[in-house]
Amino acid sequence: MMTTIERIPRVGDGVDRVDGPLKVTGAAPYPGDFDFADLAHAALVRATVAAGRISRIDTGPAEAAPGVLTVITHENAPPLGSGPATSRGPQPPLPLQADRVLHHGQYVAVVVANTAEQAVAAARRVEVHYEPAEPVLDLSDPRGELLTDPWGLDQRRGDTAAAAPEVTVDATYTTPDETNNPLGLFATVASWAGDRLTVHDSTQWPCAVRTALAAAFGLPEGNVRVLAPYVGGGFGNGLRVWPHVPLTALAARMAGRPVKLVLTRPQMFTGVGHRSGTTQHIRLGATRDGDLVTLDHEATAPVAVAHDQYEPVAAGSAAAYACPNVATRDMQRRLNIPPTGSMRAPGEAQGNFALESAMDELACDLGLDPVELRLRNYAEDHPGLGLPWSSKALRACYEQGAERFGWWRRRPEPGLVRDGDWLVGYGMAGVSFFWWQAPCQARASIGRDGRAFVRSAATDIGTGTYTVMTQLSAELLGLSLDQVRLGLGDTDMPMSPQAGGSGLTAALGAAVQAACGQLIQVFLDAVADDPGSPLHGCRLADVTVADGSIHRAGHPDQGEAYTDILARRGLDELTADGGSAPPRPEDVGMAPAGPFGAKFVEVHVDADLGRVRVARVVSVIDGGRILNEKTARSQIIGGTVGGIGMALLEETITDPATGRIANATFGDYLVPVNADIPDLDVQFVGEPDRFNPIGVKGVGEIGLAGTAAAVANAVFNATGKRVRSLPITLDKLLP
């Protein structure tokens, strides 16, 4: 008899991570951990100019160095095929296909040697000569091509020009470039067996890597296997197939041996994307009672010369509030910079900072409480589609967050509250994140030992996918957690979309639900012609599952164990597939809702030195159905930490003359550490979402969005100084 159902953790319980023991004991296999007896190692050579052409490249000294197997440049690299675009846009330019240099740090050669040390030493001996050109590095430089409405997402309703508000806020906000810095350096290990390629890669999207590599080398996708069961963090920079990945596979083919390439920290700053900086102009207009009359949001962001990045910044403002006259516009300017990429809460992080800062300014000008202003302009239905939201508990986020934080003790006049040498301020921001879900597939099996194996090609980037999908599978099949094994991160498993956009839990969870339901049906089919079975003639709607058995609904004494059915039929296991695909809003009469939330922040600012300390953060989040309270809370905490970094610390600095990133190490690029972070309070509200069969929304990014605006608004409340440019450094606060 299996464990009784009373002891089986339910979906929603704060179950410890099922992969935790592997990680804390060092047994989890990360991509860079894989080894082969004849493994060779690769090291990269990067361009030292931001624009121009390679006039000559001398590889002789490197080729003569000890242990070197081959040196690959544009002169001897074979042509590689370009893969199809994904939902994130085209893939970055393929490496070593031409002599043109598009950005500082671009790969211009790769050295393959017996050891990593030999490869690095030899790479320093590659001599590259350039015909440099003047780079375009400034967002205001008219030489850079300006792309208007690059994704067709600019929105307009009403007439913002004709509106006649009584109170107006008209301001420009800027955010800097920021760089994803996961703890694990990105690594790729490639091995060929004839025309079959196996790759271990730090990716958030194994299936996209398989597709890109198959196209690069002219292979059927079935000949490429990509493995990423564990990734050492991936805050959006694993959503592309970056140039080092096909370069590693090419090195392995040309060297005739498996090859490992591990990026250095400086290479992570130029090789795997970054959050693009923005310049945003916002104009808000309202009646004196605080009703929004007009909302105009224009954003301009940089994009690489030969690479497109999908990241709308202003678009989210169109659905944020009930307002009759709205215009949002996104533009990009091509610069000689490394390709941009996604970084946690892409687009929304930058756009929310500008919008929610402007809303705070409007509240101050109106003499209205910031929470009250947002409630007064609350969008009960989707403002653009005119459809009811599939779920929305943002009002509860505001109200419960204000109560939990003690917001009503706030002094609205800035600079009035002190604690010794520290000025104290309160700030808040409303938060939303776009809805995202893609088709997904999963497979479920149960064997003679009574254990289930549920799998999909998705990967777990540290968000808890192993755990929540194990919980969900266990509940759907009536098993205990230790009777479910979850397989992830292998393209030989059923297709999955990316772990990104806060959409994997919804997509994979729905696919797992479908697969588990189909598996139960397969077991019912196995006894359909057996009149001796208590399940004879039952359909899926007629049964429930518990304790490793299928029972007639309402009759727990009339059922059979999975193991008994398999044994009687002489089967080792039964398997079923399931898939998910999101419906169209017009087909279901609802607007799909992403997560919502409210952020409340207390800051302390040194009155003499301008130092800022975050003292408290309360996050109240509508994330739909929460599959695991502990892992979901961890996601909000982690996102909030990233938001504090965005507000106060993070800035990727590019030399305006050369295009070189000047702070591409942890010694120079500042990220929050424990001493920067107070206790973070998280509360979940809301109901299961109606647009998804398991009711989830995803909470991976909503914790970051809104944090920077809430901090900036709190700084204003503390000091009376409105900072419209991130990060908020002490020089911006000094008298």
Instruction: Point out which residues pair with 146 in neighbouring strands.
Output: 333
Tell me, what CATH number does 193's domain have? 3.90.1170.50
Structure tokens at 89: 């846009």
Is 596:456 a contact under the CB 8 Å cutoff?
A: no
Q: What Cα–Cα distance (Å) separates residue 90 from each residue in 94, 212, 217? A: 11, 10, 17
Sorted by sequence, the CB contacts under 8 Å of residue 541 that are 6+ apart come out as none
CB 341, CB 267: distance < 8 Å: no
Q: Where among 553, 581, 609 does a domain terminate? A: 581
Distances (CA, A) of 311 to 98, 314, 378: 28, 9, 25
CA dist., res. 635 & res. 267, Å (int):
27
Query: Whole-angstrom Cα distance, residue 495 to residue 694?
Result: 19
Q: Do 716 and 682 reside in the same domain of the chain? A: yes
* DSSP type of residue 730: G
Q: Is residue 227 part of a domain?
A: yes
Max Cα separation, the chain?
87
- Kindly state whether residue 206 falls inside one of the protein's structural domains: yes
Instruction: List strands edge to edge, sheet with 680-685.
Output: 418-419, 422-432, 596-606, 612-622, 680-685
CB 689 within 8 A of CB 588: no
Q: Are 582 and 437 in contact (CB under 8 A)?
A: yes
Tokens 């797992």 belong to: 512
* pLDDT in the model for residue 250: 98
- Structural domain total, the chain: 3
Co-location of 80 and 226 in the same domain: yes
Could you tell me the two tokens for 308? Answer: 């497109």
Residue with tokens 């908020």: 728
Examine the fold and report which residue of 581, 608, 628 is the final residue of a domain before the chain moves on.
581
| 540 DSSP 8-state letter | G
Give the model's pLDDT for residue 83.
Answer: 86
CA distances from 128 to 46, 59, 557 (A): 9, 9, 78
- 457's CB contacts (< 8 A; 6+ apart) are 206, 207, 488, 489, 490, 491, 492, 493, 494, 495, 496
Phi, psi of 278, deg, nearest 5: -140, 150
Q: Which two tokens stand for residue 553?
A: 């609904």
665 shares a domain with 517: no
Looking at the structure, tell me whether residues 609 and 689 fall in a common domain.
yes
The token pair that represents 42 in the structure block: 């690769």
The residues near 311 (Cβ < 8 Å, ≥ 6 apart) are: 276, 301, 340, 342, 346, 347
| Residues 483 and 474: beta-carbon distance below 8 Å | yes
Task: Please check whether residues 656 and 672 belong to one and the same domain.
Answer: yes
CATH number, position 601: 3.30.365.10
* Complete DSSP assignment for 640-686: HHHHHHHHHT----B-TTT--BS--STTTS----GGG---EEEEEE-
Q: Which helix (H) or strand (E) holds 371?
A: helix 370-376
Rounded distance between C-alpha atoms, residue 327 and residue 620, angstroms = 29
What are the average pLDDT values for consecutive 10-residue runs of the chain, which has 735 residues?
47 93 94 94 98 98 98 98 86 95 98 98 98 97 97 96 96 98 96 98 98 98 97 93 98 98 98 97 98 98 95 97 98 98 97 98 98 98 95 98 97 96 98 95 98 98 96 97 97 97 96 98 94 92 96 92 95 97 88 97 97 98 97 97 98 97 97 95 97 94 97 98 98 91
The answer to whether residue 171 sits within a structural domain is no
186 and 230 assigned to the same domain = yes
Cα separation of 539 and 734, whole Å? 72
Give the integer Cα–Cα distance in Å for 272 and 270.
Answer: 6
Show Cβ contacts of residue 139 under 8 Å, excluding neighbours closer than 6 positions. 277, 279, 300, 301, 302, 333, 335
pLDDT of residue 8: 60
Report phi then psi at 175, rounded to 5.
-125, 145
Residues forming the active site: 701
* Same domain as 14, residue 60: no
Instruction: List the beta bridge partners of residue 598.
Output: 430, 620
Same domain, 723 and 651: yes
Task: Report CA-CA distances (Å) from 734 to 174, 606, 611, 731.
Answer: 19, 10, 9, 5
At 250 the three-state DSSP class reads: helix
**3-class SS letters over 553-614:** CCEEEEEEEHHHHHHHHCCCEEEEEEEECCCCHHHHCCECCCCEEEEEEEEEEECCCCCEEE
Whether residue 312 is contained in a domain is answered as no
Q: What angle separates helix 707-719 from helix 629-648, to the nearest 10 degrees?
A: 50
- Non-local (6+) Cβ contacts of 680 within 8 A are 617, 619, 636, 637, 640, 641
H helix count then E strand count, the chain: 15, 28
Q: Which residues contact 161 (CB under 8 A, 6 or more apart)?
A: none
- Cross-strand partners of 262: 187
Q: Which two tokens stand for residue 280?
A: 């945003």
Phi, psi of 457 (to 5 degrees): -75, -5
Paired tokens of 661: 């990133």
Q: Are residues 559 and 598 in the same domain?
A: no
Which one of 538, 558, 581 terminates a domain?
581
Distance in angstroms (rounded) separating the CA atoms of residues 156 and 329: 9
Shared-domain flag, residues 521 and 576? yes
For residue 537, what are its two tokens? 């003639």
- How far apart (Å, rounded) are the C-alpha atoms in residues 16 and 13? 9
In a domain, 468, yes or no: yes
Reference 330, options 298, 282, 283, 294; nearest CA is 298
Residue type at 236 in one-letter notation: G
Q: Is 587 exposed, middle or buried (0-12, 13-18, 19+ CB in 10 A)?
A: exposed
Retrieve residue 216's tokens. Answer: 């690069």
Query: Same domain for 452 and 523?
Result: yes
Count the Cβ atoms, other than its own, within 10 Å of residue 622.
27
- Which residues face 296 on adjacent strands? 283, 327
Residue 156 located in a structural domain: no
Residues in the chain: 735
Both 654 and 699 in a single domain?
A: yes
Q: CA-CA distance, 126 to 119, in Å (whole number)?
A: 11
Helices 244-255/206-217 angle, 10° precision: 50
Provide the token pair at 299: 């954003």
Predicted local distance difference test score (pLDDT) of residue 89: 82
| Amino acid sitting at position 195 | D
Domain hosting 93: range is 34-134+182-234+238-271
- Whether the link from the prior residue into 246 is cis, omega within 30° of 0, is no
